[in-house]
Chains A and B, each alone.
Chain A
């Protein structure tokens, strides 16, 4: 479905469509929505009726809606709710309630699904072991048989947690309207309809706050999975700052500390760490270490495959996924839907920008030539070396210096892929560098100085792609990146989207003209251009 942005009904229709269709891209002029099985089942799960969906499409469509579209929607919609996963007769089992005989026959005729229907309880009801709850949902989904999982959750260990009205720093605090909407669409007033799902919002829009709001609603012991140690510290800092949780109630489970507390924050890397590839994952035990009532998956689009596997085994826990892009370069979006849960909330980036909740971002691509001396090397190299050579173009340092002159009073982050290149830039500019090898204490110190503006320019490796809270960074210079990764581009832009006084941020990406890097840059920019961002292309020439 295409939605005209300049149509007077735009806002109204957008709100209606978001209930049952997925926003695929939202550049200027025309937004693209997709009605998929998942989106229809999501709508059905949230109580949107079939009549509402059809009347929205028919009432607002510019052209006659083809009858087959309506019929397909009806068929798909009606498939949801025909199979339910409900509480079993005992604590260690669930009941699969197949409500229609023909669907039961369809399942029994399918060897891959039949295995789940071995223990018949009564007409159309089968006893299911707790352990297969995740696998069952994935397998059934693969055959277009959505399972409405309303078996609920194990209660988990209660936790007394409330949001503060004034933060520890003394600032007034309350979640924003869209944050409240997002956490409520996940929580669903505590009913079994909610409690699992994914929230998709731009970087800098305060997904952590949504996580905290959910925490305060669920009020259970919670395990939070983050992408890096810096991110773990950010979560801890934010929870302490904005809730009534005390330091002794929140723990860090990382390489440095192994604390299990009512709220425990760890990293994906920690979970999938093992000495040998054939070993068990020693830290998976953390999932059973407490009677968790909620598990939060930060940056869920980066969830590693082994964590999916363990998540499949903990379907009785409430699960919240947070991400800026559901784009997974490995195509595991379906697993996110089945194992973490359906998308519960999504808002276009530009809408939040318009409302002032994220900063306006001006994107620039600065193209510069390769030094003449490197040209022959570049032309005679293989593709991988070509990319590395163009990414590490030595002219970028001079170009960076020129851009820094334009932003003398602003907090600037320089981010790149190649450590040697970053070291050179840091040395040339005489500014600190943070890489994966920088000790945590030193990192924290540098972050703190950056926050207090004691340091104005900070060079960071790709460890800063995610979840580093740098509230005052308003300029980001990207000097190299991971090939054509769209989500990396989006994440990096997100570092500077937090609202600020002037509410304008600058994102510069440096690429070597007429090189392979230019092609990859075009691919990287795709996600953001589909969100309505436009890159101003500038050319930089070395001074003679």
Chain B
């Protein structure tokens, strides 16, 4: 059935290619239906398939065996996914995939999905994986389990860290982080990288902090935050967690089965980011630390929790610009502390420090003194006069100048300029007025939208290039001399 379905999904030319793979070159072309039927019959004979498949190298065979278990696989990040499963470099995997495509074992449709004729999956397919409902002692999620993770996120925020392309921490940053966290948290280097991956893929876009996403995440309960992290970093967990939380029950599953399931779910998942590289055991260890699951001999139990209570933030700001707060708080405003300050110490109490640098960073992230004031007011913090005044000054100092890279757009008449102003005011286009109703600055990131709108709306405009200096000089030269020069050349 499965083979039939898969073969029916192939294009005519793909059916011919597949036919040639197993039966050799087609000398006389017949109806596609003939080739299709032949394949349907042939592909059910394992020995025939194996004869052809065995010409591939061992890794290629392993890849095709694995891919065959799925009807279709998202092409995006396939190399990286297989690299995680087989522990080989993605570029090597890439070559293998290209080879399999070239040899017509795999077909690509719309560069998005690979359609895999079911070659060996029948033979290698395991029996169905079962998860057993189980009653666990845990009821309420112990928010303390996740507070280390939240504080590492707070640390990243407060330091304005940049991450590697794969989302990991740079060595220097890890060394600094470990001096703050290692004695107080039980996480290992790879696990800090997991949090780094989550942070960079969730809250950062092109090295810019996505404030709305940050806010949304901190509005979640501690349990929801934990689940959000797990689903983001390990998207293949989603179907399992969906089962657990829809059925409101814990599930037990054997480690071996789970490992198989992880592979299939990893391949099947559609990712927006390169998947996080971690082996199965490391993933289980991390998930156990955050309390999402626990191991029981050869089994893994995914635990169903109910929500825990919100633990409000107790905030103290001293006259030496230090912030003290209870580390385990689950307050939705906790991240705001980090936006205005720098992380200093971590244990049961977190110590942060507001300084010139941290305020500068806050401004770059789009924060204002008003937001800081509101935050202080909201949490009934008594600030020393020196603290509030100095912070206000820092805001004023670092907010004095800013620049935007862009294109200057001129309107030749005030009347035309007013139209542009109205469009800006209505939010239709984005530009800064440089001179009222006359000159506008279009930021680089808005340039495409701006001009496409103008074209669609039948505005006519042209690009006025500044005249080059050489041309200007030529005009200013004495024409007699110019002619002399030409005459000389002609000679």
Contacts and interface: CB of A to CB of B under 8 A. Distances in A.
A534 interface: yes
Interface in A486-544: 514, 518-519, 522, 525-526, 529-530, 532-537
A28 B389 CA distance: 18
B318 A28 contact: yes
Nearest to B316: A29
Given A529-B320, A530-B320, A534-B385, 14 more contacts: A2-B324, A25-B320, A28-B318, A29-B316, A29-B317, A29-B318, A29-B324, A30-B324, A365-B386, A519-B356, A522-B390, A532-B319, A536-B386, A537-B393
Given A2-B324, A534-B384, A63 B318 contact: no
A27 B385 contact: no
Interface in A57-114: 62-63, 68
A533 B397 CA distance: 25
User: Which one of B324, B386, B397 has the highest number of Cβ atoms from chain A below 10 Å of its Cβ?
Assistant: B386
B250 to A, nearest CB: 28
A529 B356 CA distance: 16
Contacts of A526: 320
B319 A529 contact: yes
B349 A2 contact: yes
A21 to B, nearest CB: 16
Nearest to B385: A536
Interface string A1-44: 01000000000000000000000010111100000000000000
B321 interface: yes
Contacts of A532: 319
Chain B interface, >50% SS class:
mixed
Interface string B454-475: 0000000000000000000000
24 contacts: A2-B324, A25-B320, A27-B318, A28-B319, A28-B384, A29-B316, A29-B318, A29-B324, A30-B316, A30-B322, A365-B386, A518-B393, A519-B356, A525-B386, A526-B320, A529-B318, A529-B320, A529-B321, A530-B320, A534-B386, A534-B387, A536-B386, A537-B389, A537-B390
A347 to B, nearest CB: 19
Contact of B319 (A2, A63, A519, A534): A534
Interface in B328-380: 348-349, 356
A58 to B, nearest CB: 15
A25 B390 CA distance: 20
A520 to B, nearest CB: 12
A27 B386 contact: no
A29 B397 CA distance: 29
A519 B390 CA distance: 11
Max chain B CB contacts within 10 Å: which of A29, A30, A514? Answer: A29
B181 to A, nearest CB: 14
Contacts of A522: 356, 390
A195 B338 CA distance: 48
List the 5 closest pairs (A to B, CB-CB), nearest first. A529-B320, A27-B318, A535-B386, A537-B389, A534-B319
Nearest to A522: B390
Interface in B379-419: 384-387, 389-390, 393, 397
A481 to B, nearest CB: 17
Contacts of B348: 62-63
A432 B320 CA distance: 36
Nearest to A535: B386
A491 to B, nearest CB: 18
A76 to B, nearest CB: 16
A514 B395 CA distance: 12
B320 A27 contact: yes
Given A2-B349, A537-B385, A27 B319 contact: yes
A348 to B, nearest CB: 13
A533 B319 contact: yes
A529 B349 contact: no
Contacts of A2: 324, 349
A27 B323 CA distance: 11
A27 B322 contact: yes
A519 B394 CA distance: 10
A525 B183 CA distance: 31
A510 B68 CA distance: 77
Nearest to A367: B393
A317 to B, nearest CB: 38
Interface in B82-134: none
A211 B387 CA distance: 38
A322 to B, nearest CB: 25
Contacts of A533: 319
A533 to B, nearest CB: 7
A535 B356 CA distance: 17
B354 to A, nearest CB: 11
Contacts of A29: 316-318, 324
A62 B326 CA distance: 12
Question: Of A25, A28, A526, A536, which is in contact with the most chain B CB atoms at under 10 Å from its CB?
Answer: A28
Max count, chain B CB within 10 A of own CB: residue among A62, A63, A68, A529: A529
A529 B318 CA distance: 8
Contacts of B317: 29
Contacts of B316: 29-30
A287 to B, nearest CB: 40
A461 B208 CA distance: 50
A385 to B, nearest CB: 20
Contacts of A63: 348
A417 B298 CA distance: 74
Contacts of A529: 318-321, 386
A365 B317 CA distance: 20
A196 B425 CA distance: 76
A62 B393 CA distance: 37
Nearest to B315: A29
B326 to A, nearest CB: 10
Contacts of A537: 385-386, 389-390, 393
A173 B393 CA distance: 49
Given A62-B348, A534-B385, A30 B318 contact: yes
